[in-house]
Structure 1
Amino acid sequence: MATPYRSTPVFDETTLPAALRARHSTKAGTWGMIRVIEGQVQLTYLEPFSTLLLTPDRAGPLAPGQPHFVEPVGPMRLRVDFYDEPPGG
């Protein structure tokens, strides 16, 4: 299993940055994994369009350059891990 080279701080529904709530993507060569610690988060992929409900048991994978955004579903805590190779679950 890959090891993240960087992780964001833990965000909650009030500290989640506006940039993560709006369309953005990982840079070329960077994979991400959204890990919900508590609560639920809606992950929306934009190309192609689909959604996932993330929970502590279901992380959200991000491919390099994949446009997406997240929305809290009530109280939550999450972090994003970044990898230089495809991560495991």
Structure 2
Amino acid sequence: MTNQLPDGLVPGGASPVFTQDTLPDALQAEHTLASRHWAVLHVLEGSLRFANIETGKERLISAPDRVTIRPGLPHRVALEGRLRCRINFYREP
């Protein structure tokens, strides 16, 4: 897993800022991004646990860190207490 986006991606919008009270259940369950779609998860406050289902590895992501998520990568997040985060979306042209 890298924190670099490939060159040439087109911005595709952003999520609202989520908190520990508003983080959607769908993000806490295993899911993937669609083909040709990328995301960058920004932790603005607190921390969360990012699980890469493909490798079986988990990583604690704490503010102000971020994680880049590639298309098709099975993953999920888990709360670790207080949280503010947002997701920026990108797509391949």
Decide which of 62, 65, 68 is 1:58's aligned counterpart.
Answer: 65
Unaligned runs of 5+ in 1: none
- TM-score, with length taken from structure 1: 0.87
Decide which of 3, 14, 21 is 1:7's aligned counterpart.
Answer: 14
- Whole-angstrom distance in 1 between the partners of 2:65 and 2:46: 11
Residue 71 in structure 1 maps to residue 66 in structure 2? no
Count of residues paired in the alignment: 85
- Whole-angstrom distance in 1 between the partners of 2:47 and 2:78: 9
Q: CA RMSD in A?
A: 1.5
Identical aligned residues as a percent: 33
Q: Deviations over 1:32-88 (max 9, x none)?
A: 111001000100010021111112232111010101000111011001111124xxx
- TM-score, with length taken from structure 2: 0.83
Unaligned runs of 5+ in 2: 1-6
* Residue number in structure 2 paired with 1:43: 50
